[in-house]
Structure 1
Amino acid sequence: MDLTGARVLAHRAAVQGLHGDDPDAVLPLGVVDSPPKTGAAALGVRGRREGTEDLVRVLSLRGAPHLHRREDLPALRRQLRPRTPRQLAAWCGAHPTPEPEHVDLVVDLLHREFPGDTATKGELSAAISPHLPAVVTPYCPGCEANHVIENVFRLATLLAGIELEHLGPKLVFRRPTAKPDVEEPGEPTLLRDYARLVGPFAKADAEKWLGTGPPDPWPDLRPVRVDGKRLLALDDLDLIAADPPAGLLLFPRDPYLLGPRHLVADPDVAKQVWRPVGSPGALVLHGRVAGAWRHEFHGRTVTFQVTGWSKVRGTARRAISDQAEVLAGVWGGAALGADVVEW
C-alpha cells in the first residue's frame, strides 16, 4: 500500500480527537503530564473541558508522569513489566542489570516502607534504598550516595500501584491503598493502540515510545510505504478521510507528534522544537509542524509567543487564537485571557 504523509496525518488528527469530537480518544496511550497541566492542555485542545480530576497521574511510559484512566492501569502494568533481561536493561541505562526478582523486591519495599500518607521522590527513595542489595543501589555521583536505580524506582512505583499528586513542582507520591495483583503476559494492546492512533510507524519509534526494549509479541503488522519510505501498519488499517485542523498549539510530547518525525516536520523546523533541554511548543499548521511557541504569564493574561505569527493567515490564524484561549482556560479558568504575539 502506498500512502502520502498528508493522508496519514489527517487520519491521525481525526482518530486522536483533534477535531474536538472525542477528547479522550488518546487516553489509551496515556498523556504526558510534565510539567503538570501539560496533560490537561493536550486533552483541552481536543475538547475536554471538565478537567482531569477523574484521571490518575502515575509514572508510566519511560518513567515519565502520565495521565491515565484508572481502568487502563492493569494492562499498562502488565505490558511495561520487564520479562527479559534485555527489557529490564532498557530501564537501567548504563547501570548493570539486576535480576527480575529485584524489581519485585523494590515493589514490596515501596509498600512496606512508605513513609506517611505522601512522600516526595527523595523521601521514598531514601526509605527503601538501605534495604536493597548493591546491584540495585549503585553509587550516584550527583547525589553522592547509593540509591535505587532511578528508572527502576520509577517503574516499580507503577507496578506497586502508587499514584502521584496532580499538581506541584515536585513529584509527590500517595500511599498505595492496596497492592495490585501480579499481571500475566497478554495481548500487546498498548502497541496496538499506538499503531491505531499514530498510524504507520517504524519499530524503533514504538520501542522508543514504550521505553522497554523490544516488545514480545508485536501485534499483527503489514508493510506500507508513506511518501516512499517503508513503515509498518496494522493489518486492518483503515484510514479516515479528513482534513487536518487548520492550526494547533501542542506541547512537544503531544500524542499527535509520535511516530516518524519526518512525517510531521522538516529537519530545520524539528531542530527548533525538539531540543535536548527546554523544548518549546509545536506550532502545527494544516497538519505539519511549521514553527514553535512559548508562553508567559502576566497578571491575568497568558501571552503566546508564536514563530512567524504575522505570516499566519485566514483559518489557521483564527484556529491558533482559539487554541490560545482554550489553553488559557485550562491553566487559569475564567481568570486568564490569551494574547498571541510574534516570536
Structure 2
Amino acid sequence: MELTGAQVLAHRAAVQGLHGDDPDAVLALGVVDSPPKTGAAALGVRGRREGTEGLVRVLSLRGAPHLHRREDLPALRRQLRPRTEKQLAAWCGAFPVPDLAHVDLVVDAMRRELPGDTATKGELSAAITPGLPEVVTPYCAGCKAHHVIENVFRLCTLLAGIELEHQGAKLTFRRPTAKPEPEAPGEPTLLRDYARLVGPFAKADAEKWLGAGPQDTWPDLRPVRVDGKRLLAHEDVREAPDPPAGLLLFPRDPYLLGPRHLVADPDVARQVWRPVGSPGALVLHGRVAGTWRYEFSGRTVTFQVKGWSKVKGAARGAVKDQAEVLAGVWGAGALEANVVEW
C-alpha cells in the first residue's frame, strides 16, 4: 500500500480526537503529564473541558508521569511488568540486572512501607531500602547512597498500585482511594492501541515509546510505504479531514509519536526535541512548523510563538483559539491569553 505523509497525519489527527469529537481516545495510550498540567493541556486541545477529573496520575510508560483511566490500570500493570531478563534490563540502565523475583520484593515493600497516606519519593525510598537486598539497591554515585534502581523504583510504584498527586513539581505518592484491582488477564493492547492511534510506524518507534524492552507479542502488522519509506501498519489508514489548521502541542503529545520525519523537517525537529528544556511544538496544517513557550504574569498567560508574524489566515485564528483553551485548562477560566512573537 502506498500512502502519503499527509494521509497518515490526517488519519492520526482524526483517530486521536483532535477535531474535538473524541477527546479521551488518546487515554488508551496514557498521556504524559510532566510537567504537571501538560496532560490536561493535551486533553484540553482535544476538547476535554473537565480537566483531569476522573483520571489517575501514575508513573507508567518509561517511568514517566502519565494520566490514565483508572479502569485501564490493571491491564497496564500486567503489560508493563517485565517477563524476561531483557525486559527488566530496559528498566535498569547501566546497573546489573537483578532477578525478576526482586521486582515483587520491591512491590511488596512499597505496599507495606508507604509512610502515611502520602510520601515524597525520598521518603518512600528511605522506607523500603533497608529491607531490600543490595542487588536491587546498588550504590548510586550521584546520590551517594544505596537505593532501588531508579526506573525499577518507578515501575514498582505502578505495580504496587501507588498513585501520584496531580499537582506539584516534585513527585508525591499517595495511597489509592480504592483498593487496586489485580492485574487483568487478556491480550496485550498497548502496542495495538499504539498502531491504531499513531498509524504506520517502525518497530523502533514503538519500542522507544513503550520503553519496556524487546517485545515478544506484536499485533498483526503489514508493510506499507509512506512517502516512499517502508513502515508497518496494523489497520487501514482511512480517509479523514485535514488536521486542524493550528495546534499548540507539548513535545510529548500523542500526535507527535511515531516516525518523526512525518511531522517535522530535521531542522525544525532539532529546535523542538532537545535533551533538556524542549519548547512546545507549533503545528500548522498537520506538521510542526516552529516552537512556542509561555509565561504567566498576573492573570495573563502570554504565548510566545516563533514566527508568529508569518502565521496567517485560518492557522492564525486556530492558534489563538488554542491559546484560549490552554489558558482555560491552566487557570480554570481565570486567565486571559495573549499571543506574541517569540
Return the TM-score normalized by structure 1.
0.98
Shift of 1:107: 0.4
Partner Cα separation in structure 2 for residue 322 and residue 183 of structure 1: 40
Q: How many residues align?
A: 341
Q: Counterpart of 1:5?
A: 5
Q: Counterpart of 1:228?
A: 228
Counterpart code for 2:191: L
Equivalent pair of 2:8/2:237 in contact (CA under 8 Å): no
Q: Counterpart of 1:281?
A: 280
What's the secondary structure of 2:19's corresponding residue? coil
Partner Cα separation in structure 2 for residue 82 and residue 249 of structure 1: 35
Q: Counterpart of 1:121?
A: 121
Deviation readout 1:62-94 (Å, 9 max, x if unpaired): 000000000111111111000000000000011
Shift of 1:180: 4.2
Partner Cα separation in structure 2 for residue 342 and residue 182 of structure 1: 49
Return the TM-score normalized by structure 2.
0.98
Partner Cα separation in structure 1 for residue 175 and residue 156 of structure 2: 14
What's the secondary structure of 1:26's corresponding residue? helix
What's the secondary structure of 1:115's corresponding residue? coil
For 1:1-343, what aligned pairs fall within 5 Å after superposition? 1-176=1-176, 178=179, 180-184=181-185, 186-234=186-234, 236-343=235-342
Counterpart code for 1:156: C
Equivalent pair of 1:121/1:171 in contact (CA under 8 Å): yes
Shift of 1:216: 1.8
Partner Cα separation in structure 2 for residue 92 and residue 253 of structure 1: 23
In structure 2, runs of 5+ residues without a counterpart are none
Counterpart code for 2:179: A
Shift of 1:102: 0.2
What's the secondary structure of 1:108's corresponding residue? helix
- Percent identity between the two aligned chains: 83
Counterpart code for 1:43: L
Runs of 4 or more above 4 Å deviation:
none
Partner Cα separation in structure 2 for residue 156 and residue 299 of structure 1: 40
User: Once superposed, what is the RMSD of the aligned Cα atoms?
Assistant: 1.0
Partner Cα separation in structure 2 for residue 240 and residue 82 of structure 1: 38
Partner Cα separation in structure 2 for residue 78 and residue 193 of structure 1: 15
Deviation readout 1:240-268 (Å, 9 max, x if unpaired): 32111100000000000000000000000
What's the secondary structure of 2:135's corresponding residue? helix
What's the secondary structure of 1:18's corresponding residue? coil
Partner Cα separation in structure 2 for residue 22 and residue 175 of structure 1: 31
Shift of 1:141: 1.3
